[in-house]
C-alpha cells in the first residue's frame, strides 16, 4: 500500500519527469560522465518500498540516476538496499544494488511503478520443498542470511510479472525482471541436496499470456564447472512452465556427488554437452524432461551388484522422462569403449519407488577377453560364469540383449531380472568346453539366450588337429535351482586325433579301450556330446558323455588274437559306460562286418568286450591267422573258403569265449585216406565254441559239424594257443563209419589217433582210395608206389565191432595199433575175425636197420582173401605170410613167402581155362562141384612197385599140382605166368621124390611130376589167355626145358605192352604191357 504523501511525491515526480523530457539531451550528456546522485529521493524511496503494516522497513545507502546497460534508458539505482522486520538489527534481505526503470504511464497517473527491475550481484537462496514447490530469498553476495526465508519471493515476482494491471498494485506494471552476476544457492529438499552457481544471469519479461526468460548459469559441481544456458517460458493457461537448457562441461558423476537420486548418475563419469528440455508447473512439479546429450572420454561404471567399470572414448544419449518423472524412455545410449560399442535403449516405470525396467542393448566389436567387464555379474550369473571362463580369444562382432527387470526400491541393489533374451555373433573364438580337454580354437560362434537357457552355435575352428564342422553349447535351467551345460560338437579329421581327443582327462576312453591312439589311422567325423551340471567342483560321475563317430579306413593294431583291424568303415558310439561300433572291416586279411561292444568297467556287466564278425569268406591262409593251423581246418582236410559268423566275448584279464557258426558249403572237405569227401557247394555247417585264456585259444569246449553225410561233434584242447587234442564224441559218415575217439596233435606236427565204435570203413586204408573228383590224376605204375604218402608222423589205435576192408568184407571185433614216422609205417598190429569167427592177425614191425618184418596169419585163408576182395575162389586154409621190407633197396621191395595149407579152389575161372586147355576134364568137374583140394601152397614172392613176382611157387593136392613163376600186376590186375600142371599129383609126384630118378623125371622142378604139361597164362587175371604144350606131357622132366630154349622170358613179364599184331607162334606167350 502506497501512502498519500508518497502519492503526492509521485505526482510531483511525474511533473518533473515531463520537464526532464525537455532537458533529456543535456541530462544524457551528464549521465554519460557517471551516475547523478539523487539522495534527496532516498527517504521517499525508502518510504515507498516499506510496508509498515507488515512491520517491514527498507533502508537505502544512496540513490543515483544512471544510464541503463544500453546507454539509452534512464535507471534509478538504489545502492545498499536492506530490509528489516520490526526492531531486528539483522536484515532479512540484502541486495547490493537495484536498478529500476519506472512506468511513465504510472507516473502520469501519480504512481511510482517500476517497469523493469534488475538485481545486481545478489545472493539468491532458492529452496525446493519436499512437495516440489519453490521459495526464493535474496541477499547480498558474500553476505550471510542468518534467518530462514520468510516468504515466497519467487511467487511474488511471478505474480508481479504476469498479473493484470492494478492501480493499487504498482508491481503489476513490471514488464521485465533480471538478476545479474548472482550467487545462487539451491537447497533441494525434494532431492535432499544443495548446489551452487556463481555469476548467474537470469532475465524474465512479460509476453502475452505469460513470461519468457533466459538464464546463464555456471555450476560449481564439486570443484568442476558446468555451464547451462537456458530459455524459460511460462503460460498462465494451466500455470505451465517450460525450459530448454543447453549444457556443456557437465559430468553426471559430479552431479551424483550432490546426493539423493542424482547418485544414480555416477554411472557416467565424463563431460556431457547437449540440450535438455523440461516441462512443469509453477508449483515446481516437473512433468517431463527430454535430453539429447553427447560426451567425451571418461568412465562408465555401475555399482554392485552389477559391479562394472569401463573406460569410454565417447558417449551420446537421447531420451526423456515423463508422467511426473515416474516414467522414462532412453531412446538411445551409444557408448564407444575404444573399440567396443554399446547401444542401449530402455524404458522404466514407477521411478522413485517400486519400478520396472525394460532394456534393449547391443555391443559391437568386443574382444571376448573383455566380455567380463561388460557383462554385468547380476545378469544370468551362472551362464555368465561359464561363458566368461570358457569362451575367450576372438571377437564378438555383435551382441544383443533384452532385459525386463524390477526393483522394489528403485535402486540397483534389489534389482530382479524377470526376463532375459539376446544373441551374440563372434569369430576367432576359443571354446574351453570341458577342462582340461583340448579347446576349440578359431571358431565362429552365434549365441542366443533367454531367461531359461543360453545357446551357443559354433561353426568352423579346430580342436586337437580336428576340424570343427558344427557345434552347439546349451546352458539350461537358468531359471531353476540347478543349471546344466549340454555341449554338442561335430568334428572331422584323423581317427588318431579323435581318439587322442577323447583320451584326454577326464574321459580317458582310448585308455579304457586299451588302444594307443598313435597306432590308429583312418579318417572320420565325430559328434561329441557332453552334459553336466554347472558346478564349481564337477565330479566325473556328474559328467554325461556321448560320442558318435563315422570313421573310414580305420586301422587298429592287434585287436584280437594279435590281428590288426584295417579298412574299417565304422559307426562308433561311446558313452561313459562303453563303446558300440558297427561296420565293415578287415581283420588280418579277413573281410567281414563288425559289431563291437566294449564296456569300460566290468562292474555290473557280464563282459568287457564283445565282437560279432560276419565273414562271408575265410580262406585257408586266413584260418591260419586265427590259429586254426591244423586238422581239420587246413588242407587236405579242408580247402577253399568258408563263411563264418563269429561272436567273441572277452571278460578281461585275457579271458574270453568265442561262438562261431561256420557255413562250410563253399569248402571242399575230405578225410585223407578215409575215402570221405564233400564237394564244394554241398550244404555243410559247423558250430564252434572257443574259450580264450591270456588272449589265446585255450580250448574248444564243443564243436559240431554237419557236412554232406558227415556228422560229428566233440571238443578240442589247446596248449600255447595251438590245438593239441580233438575229442570226437561221434564221427559218422558214409553209412559205414560210426566211431568216437581222439585226435592228438603233437607239437612236431604228428598225430595220435584213438578210435572206437560200432563200425569203421577201412577199405580206403587197406585198399586203394577212390579218385576224388577235381583232384589231379593219380600217378600210375612205379611212380604211384614210389610217391610217399603225404601224411605226418602218427599213431593209430582203434577198436570197432566191424571194420570194413572191402565193399562186402569186414573184420569183426577188430583192433589196430599203427605207428608211422615221417616216411613209413613202422609198426602195424591188426587183429580181427573173419568168416565164421576165425582169427586174423597182421603184424608189421621194425626188425633191424632198413628192415621191417611182416607176418600175417589166419585159420581161414579163403575168408581173409574174400574179405579183402583179393580172391574169392579159395575156401578154408591156414594162412601164413612171412616177409621183409628191404627199405635200403630201390623200390623198397617186400620179399617173402606165402603159405597156405589145406584149402580148396572152387570155380576159379583162370584155373578152369587151364584145366580145359589141358583136357583135364575130370579135375575141372571136381573144381566146379566141391572144389579141388590142395594141401599146400608155397609161393616165394617179391612185391615191388605193385608188381608181384613169383619164383618156384607151387600148389598141390591129391588131384592136382601146379608150379608157377612170373608176374602179377596188382594195379592193373593182369598176369604173365608159366609153369607146369601135374595131374594126379599124389601118384605123379612119387617118382620125383626118388634121388637122381626124381630129377630125371621132373627136371628139378619143385612140385613137378612124371606126367606134366607146360603152360602159360597171360592177360587179365579173371580171364587170361591160356596156352598148354601137349608134347611136354610125353617128355621126361629133364627134357621139358628144351621146349623153352627159344623163350625170351616175355611170358613172365606182366607189365610189358603186347604187340599190336599177334605173333605167328601160338605157343609163345606175349608180354602184357611195357
- For residue 20, the model assigns a pLDDT of 43
Over 80: is that where the pLDDT of 154 sits?
A: no
Lowest mean pLDDT among 52-61, 340-349, 974-983: 52-61
Over 90: is that where the pLDDT of 626 sits?
A: no
Mean pLDDT throughout 983-987? 63
- For residue 1039, the model assigns a pLDDT of 42
DSSP states of 703-727: EEEEETTEEEEEEEEEETTEEEEEE
HEC readout, 226-292: EEEEEEEEEECCCCEEEEEEEEEEECHHHHHCCCHHHHHHHHEECCEEEEEEEEEECCCCEEEEEEE
Percent of the chain scoring above 90 in pLDDT: 19
Lowest mean pLDDT among 278-292, 869-883, 1040-1054: 1040-1054
Contact 382, 368 (CB under 8 A): no
Burial 490-505 (b: 16+ CB within 10 A, else e): bbbbbbbbbbbbbbee
- For residue 755, the model assigns a pLDDT of 93
Mean pLDDT throughout 120-130? 79
User: If you search the block for the grid coordinates 532479512, which residue do you land on?
Assistant: 92
The residue that leads in pLDDT, 68 or 1005, is 68
Q: How far is CA 290 from the centre of its chain?
A: 60
Euclidean distance between CA atoms 92 and 71, whole angstroms: 33
- Cell digits of residue 750: 604228428
- Cell digits of residue 998: 626124381
Mean pLDDT throughout 448-471? 83
- Cell digits of residue 619: 580262406
520 band by pLDDT with thresholds 50, 70 and 90:
confident
- For residue 1038, the model assigns a pLDDT of 42
Lowest mean pLDDT among 372-376, 407-411, 507-511, 791-795: 507-511
Q: How far apart are the first and last CA of the chain?
A: 177
Euclidean distance between CA atoms 889 and 343, whole angstroms: 113
User: If you search the block for the grid coordinates 625170351, which residue do you land on?
Assistant: 1048
1072 band by pLDDT with thresholds 50, 70 and 90:
very low
Domain ranges of the chain: 1-207, 815-826+839-1052
Question: What does residue 624 show for φ and ψ, rounded to 5 degrees?
Answer: -65, -30
Euclidean distance between CA atoms 474 and 382, whole angstroms: 12
Q: Is the peptide bond before 9 cis (omega within 30 degrees of 0)?
A: no
What residues have CB less than 8 Å from 6, skipping those under 6 apart? 44, 47, 48, 112
The residue that leads in pLDDT, 653 or 782, is 653
Q: Are strands 642-652 and 609-618 parallel, antiparallel or unpaired?
A: antiparallel
Contact 337, 310 (CB under 8 A): yes
As beta bridge partners, residue 330 has 319, 346
Conformational region of residue 153, where left means phi above 0, alpha means psi within -120 to 50, and beta covers everything else: alpha
The residue that leads in pLDDT, 174 or 640, is 640
- Cell digits of residue 882: 612171412
Euclidean distance between CA atoms 818 and 755, whole angstroms: 12
DSSP state of 679: -
- Cell digits of residue 69: 546497460
- For residue 593, the model assigns a pLDDT of 92
* pLDDT tens figures, 594-624: 898 988 777 878 888 898 989 999 888 888 8
- Distance (Å) of CA 699 to CA 166, 648, 688, 712, 719: 130, 14, 11, 17, 8
513 band by pLDDT with thresholds 50, 70 and 90:
low
Mean pLDDT throughout 73-92? 80
Mean pLDDT throughout 924-949? 84
Euclidean distance between CA atoms 151 and 548, whole angstroms: 85
Over 80: is that where the pLDDT of 496 sits?
A: no
- Cell digits of residue 115: 517497469
User: If you search the block for the grid coordinates 583192433, which residue do you land on?
Assistant: 815
- For residue 847, the model assigns a pLDDT of 93
- Cell digits of residue 783: 611212380
Euclidean distance between CA atoms 901 and 859, whole angstroms: 10
Q: Give the three-class secondary structure for 433.
A: coil
Instruction: Please list the alpha-helical segments (H only) found in 576-657.
Output: 620-625
Euclidean distance between CA atoms 535 and 241, whole angstroms: 58
Euclidean distance between CA atoms 730 and 738, whole angstroms: 7
The residue that leads in pLDDT, 1037 or 1029, is 1029
Q: Going along 496-562, which residue ranges are E strands? A: 521-533, 544-560
Over 70: is that where the pLDDT of 32 sits?
A: no
* pLDDT tens figures, 527-575: 888 888 877 777 767 778 888 888 888 888 877 778 888 888 888 888 8
- Cell digits of residue 11: 505526482
Contact 885, 846 (CB under 8 A): no
User: If you search the block for the grid coordinates 566233440, which residue do you land on?
Assistant: 714
* pLDDT tens figures, 963-972: 999 999 988 8
Q: At what angle do helices 42-49 and 4-22 cross, to 10 degrees?
A: 130
Euclidean distance between CA atoms 899 and 882, whole angstroms: 8
As beta bridge partners, residue 315 has 295, 335
Lowest mean pLDDT among 283-287, 329-333, 927-931, 1055-1059: 1055-1059
Taken in order 979, 984, 986, 990, the sign of the CA dihedral is negative
**Helix, strand, coil abundance in the chain, percent, nearest 5:** 15, 55, 30
331 band by pLDDT with thresholds 50, 70 and 90:
very high
* pLDDT tens figures, 754-791: 999 999 998 887 766 666 666 656 566 666 665 666 67
Burial 280-315 (b: 16+ CB within 10 A, else e): bebebbbbbbbbebebeebebbbeeebebebebbbb
* pLDDT tens figures, 721-750: 778 888 999 999 989 999 999 988 888 888
- For residue 1059, the model assigns a pLDDT of 44
The residue that leads in pLDDT, 380 or 999, is 380
Over 70: is that where the pLDDT of 920 sits?
A: no
DSSP state of 593: E
Q: What is the dihedral of CA 530, 532, 535, 536, to 10 degrees?
A: -30
In whole numbers, what is the pLDDT of the chain averaged over residues? 79
Euclidean distance between CA atoms 116 and 177, whole angstroms: 6
Euclidean distance between CA atoms 390 and 530, whole angstroms: 14
Euclidean distance between CA atoms 613 and 647, whole angstroms: 6
- For residue 931, the model assigns a pLDDT of 80
pTM: predicted TM-score of the whole model, two decimal places: 0.61
Q: How many CB atoms lie within 10 A of CB 866?
A: 20
- For residue 18, the model assigns a pLDDT of 47
Euclidean distance between CA atoms 742 and 576, whole angstroms: 48
Euclidean distance between CA atoms 600 and 595, whole angstroms: 16
Amino acid at each position: 500500500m502506497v501512502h498519500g504523501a508518497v502519492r503526492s511525491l509521485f505526482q510531483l515526480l511525474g511533473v518533473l519527469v515531463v520537464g526532464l523530457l525537455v532537458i533529456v539531451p543535456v541530462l544524457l550528456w551528464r549521465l554519460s560522465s557517471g551516475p547523478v546522485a539523487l539522495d534527496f529521493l532516498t527517504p521517499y524511496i525508502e518510504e515507498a518500498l516499506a510496508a509498515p503494516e507488515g512491520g517491514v522497513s527498507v533502508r537505502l545507502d544512496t540513490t543515483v540516476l544512471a544510464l541503463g546497460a544500453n546507454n539509452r534508458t534512464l535507471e534509478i539505482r538504489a545502492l545498499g538496499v536492506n530490509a528489516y522486520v520490526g526492531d531486528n538489527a539483522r536484515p532479512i534481505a540484502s541486495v547490493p544494488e537495484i536498478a529500476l526503470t519506472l512506468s511513465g504511464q504510472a507516473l502520469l497517473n501519480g504512481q511510482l511503478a517500476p517497469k523493469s527491475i534488475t538485481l545486481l550481484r545478489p545472493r539468491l537462496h532458492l529452496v525446493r520443498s519436499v512437495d516440489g514447490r519453490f521459495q526464493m530469498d535474496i541477499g547480498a553476495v558474500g553476505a550471510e542470511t542468518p534467518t530462514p526465508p520468510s516468504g515466497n519471493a519467487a511467487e511474488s515476482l511471478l505474480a508481479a510479472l504476469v498479473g493484470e494491471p492494478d492501480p493499487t498494485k504498482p508491481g503489476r506494471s513490471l514488464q521485465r525482471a533480471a538478476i545479474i552476476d548472482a550467487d545462487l544457492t539451491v537447497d533441494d529438499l525434494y532431492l535432499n541436496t544443495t548446489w551452487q552457481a556463481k555469476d548467474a544471469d537470469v532475465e524474465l519479461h512479460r509476453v502475452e499470456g505469460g513470461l519468457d526468460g533466459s538464464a546463464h548459469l555456471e555450476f560449481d559441481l564439486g570443484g568442476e564447472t558446468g555451464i547451462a544456458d537456458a530459455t524459460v517460458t511460462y503460460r498462465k493457461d494451466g500455470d505451465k512452465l517450460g525450459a530448454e537448457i543447453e549444457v556443456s562441461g557437465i559430468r553426471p558423476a559430479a552431479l551424483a556427488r550432490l546426493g539423493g537420486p542424482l547418485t544414480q548418475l555416477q554411472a557416467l563419469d565424463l563431460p556431457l554437452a547437449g540440450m535438455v528440455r523440461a516441462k512443469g508447473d509453477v508449483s515446481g512439479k516437473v512433468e517431463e524432461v527430454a535430453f539429447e546429450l553427447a560426451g567425451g572420454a571418461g568412465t562408465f561404471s555401475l555399482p554392485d551388484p552389477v559391479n562394472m567399470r569401463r573406460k569410454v572414448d565417447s558417449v551420446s544419449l537421447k531420451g526423456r522422462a515423463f508422467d511426473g518423472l515416474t516414467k522414462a524412455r532412453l531412446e538411445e545410449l551409444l557408448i564407444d569403449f575404444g573399440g567396443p560399442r554399446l547401444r542401449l535403449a530402455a524404458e522404466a516405470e514407477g521411478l522413485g519407488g517400486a519400478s520396472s525396467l525394460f532394456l534393449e542393448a547391443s555391443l559391437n566389436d568386443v574382444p571376448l577377453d573383455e566380455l567380463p567387464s561388460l557383462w554385468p555379474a547380476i545378469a544370468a550369473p551362472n551362464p555368465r560364469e561359464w561363458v566368461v571362463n570358457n569362451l575367450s580369444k576372438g571377437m564378438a562382432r555383435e551382441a544383443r540383449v533384452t532385459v525386463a527387470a524390477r526393483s522394489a526400491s528403485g535402486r540397483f541393489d534389489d534389482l530382479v531380472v524377470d526376463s532375459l533374451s539376446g544373441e551374440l555373433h563372434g569369430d576367432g573364438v576359443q571354446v574351453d568346453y570341458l577342462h582340461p580337454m583340448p579347446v576349440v580354437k578359431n571358431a565362429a560362434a552365434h549365441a542366443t539366450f533367454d531367461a531359461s537357457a543360453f545357446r551357443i552355435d559354433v561353426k568352423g575352428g579346430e580342436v586337437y588337429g580336428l576340424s570343427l564342422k558344427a557345434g552347439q553349447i546349451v546352458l539350461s535351467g537358468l531359471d531353476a535351482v540347478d543349471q546344466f551345460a549340454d555341449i554338442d560338437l561335430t568334428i572331422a579329421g584323423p581317427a588318431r586325433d579323435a581318439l587322442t581327443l577323447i583320451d584326454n582327462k577326464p574321459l580317458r576312453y582310448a585308455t579304457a579301450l586299451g588302444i594307443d591312439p598313435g597306432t590308429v589311422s583312418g579318417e572320420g567325423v565325430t559328434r561329441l556330446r557332453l552334459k553336466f551340471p554347472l558346478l564349481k567342483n564337477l565330479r566325473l560321475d556328474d559328467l554325461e558323455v556321448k560320442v558318435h563317430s563315422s570313421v573310414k579306413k580305420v586301422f587298429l593294431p592287434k585287436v584280437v588274437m594279435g590281428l590288426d583291424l584295417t579298412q574299417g568303415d565304422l559307426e562308433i558310439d561311446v558313452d561313459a559306460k562303453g563303446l558300440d561300433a558297427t561296420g565293415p572291416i578287415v581283420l588280418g586279411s579277413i573281410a567281414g562286418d563288425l559289431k563291437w561292444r566294449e564296456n569300460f568297467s566290468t562292474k555290473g556287466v557280464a563282459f568287457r568286450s564283445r565282437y560279432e564278425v560276419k565273414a562271408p569268406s575265410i580262406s585257408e591262409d586266413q584260418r591260419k591267422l586265427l590259429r586254426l593251423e591244423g586238422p581239420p581246418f587246413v588242407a587236405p582236410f579242408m580247402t577253399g573258403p568258408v563263411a563264418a559268423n563269429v561272436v567273441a566275448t572277452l571278460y578281461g584279464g585275457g579271458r574270453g569265449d568265442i561262438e562261431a557258426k561256420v557255413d562250410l558249403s563253399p569248402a571242399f572237405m575230405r578225410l585223407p585216406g578215409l575215402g570221405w569227401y564233400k564237394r564244394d557247394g554241398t550244404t555243410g555247417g559247423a558250430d564252434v565254441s572257443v574259450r580264450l585264456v591270456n588272449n589265446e585259444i585255450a580250448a574248444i569246449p564243443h564243436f559240431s559239424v554237419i557236412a554232406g553225410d558227415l556228422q560229428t561233434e566233440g571238443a578240442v584242447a589247446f596248449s600255447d594257443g595251438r590245438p593239441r587234442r580233438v575229442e570226437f564224441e561221434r564221427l559218422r559218415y558214409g553209412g559205414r563209419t560210426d566211431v568216437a575217439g581222439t585226435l592228438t596233435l603233437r607239437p612236431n606236427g604228428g598225430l595220435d589217433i584213438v578210435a572206437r565204435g560200432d563200425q569203421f570203413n577201412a577199405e580206403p586204408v587197406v585198399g586203394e582210395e577212390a579218385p576224388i573228383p577235381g583232384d589231379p590224376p593219380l600217378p600210375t605204375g612205379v611212380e604211384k608206389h614210389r610217391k610217399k604218402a603225404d601224411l605226418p608222423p602218427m599213431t593209430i589205435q582203434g577198436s570197432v565191432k566191424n571194420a570194413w576192408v572191402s565193399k562186402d568184407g569186414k573184420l569183426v571185433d577188430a583192433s589196430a595199433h599203427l605207428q608211422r614216422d615221417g616216411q613209413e609205417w613202422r609198426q602195424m598190429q591188426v587183429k580181427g575175425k573173419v568168416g565164421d569167427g576165425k582169427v586174423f592177425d597182421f603184424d608189421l614191425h621194425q626188425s633191424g636197420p632198413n628192415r621191417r618184418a611182416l607176418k600175417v596169419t589166419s585159420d581161414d585163408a579163403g575168408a581173409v582173401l574174400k574179405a579183402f576182395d583179393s580172391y574169392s575162389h579159395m575156401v578154408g586154409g591156414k594162412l601164413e605170410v612171412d616177409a621183409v621190407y628191404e627199405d635200403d633197396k630201390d623200390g623198397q621191395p617186400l620179399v617173402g613167402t606165402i603159405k597156405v595149407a589145406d584149402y580148396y579152389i572152387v570155380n576159379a575161372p583162370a584155373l578152369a581155362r587151364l584145366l580145359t586147355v589141358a583136357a583135364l576134364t575130370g579135375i575141372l568137374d571136381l573144381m566146379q562141384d566141391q572144389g579141388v583140394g590142395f594141401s599146400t601152397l608155397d609161393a616165394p614172392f617179391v612185391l615191388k612197385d605193385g608188381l608181384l613176382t613169383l619164383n618156384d611157387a607151387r600148389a598141390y593136392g591129391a588131384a592136382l599140382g601146379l608150379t608157377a613163376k612170373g608176374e602179377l600186376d596188382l594195379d592193373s590186375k593182369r598176369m604173365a605166368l608159366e609153369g607146369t600142371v601135374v595131374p594126379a599129383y599124389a601118384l605123379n609126384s612119387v617118382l620125383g621124390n626118388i634121388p637122381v630118378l626124381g630129377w630125371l623125371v621132373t627136371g628139378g622142378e619143385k612140385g613137378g611130376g612124371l606126367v606134366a604139361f607146360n603152360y602159360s597164362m597171360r592177360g587179365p587175371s579173371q580171364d587170361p589167355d591160356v596156352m598148354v604144350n601137349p608134347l611136354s606131357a610125353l617128355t621126361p622132366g629133364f627134357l621139358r626145358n628144351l621146349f623153352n630154349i627159344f623163350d625170351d622170358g616175355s611170358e613172365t613179364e606182366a607189365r610189358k605192352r603186347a604187340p599190336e599184331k599177334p605173333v605167328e607162334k601160338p605157343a609163345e606167350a606175349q608180354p602184357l604191357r611195357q
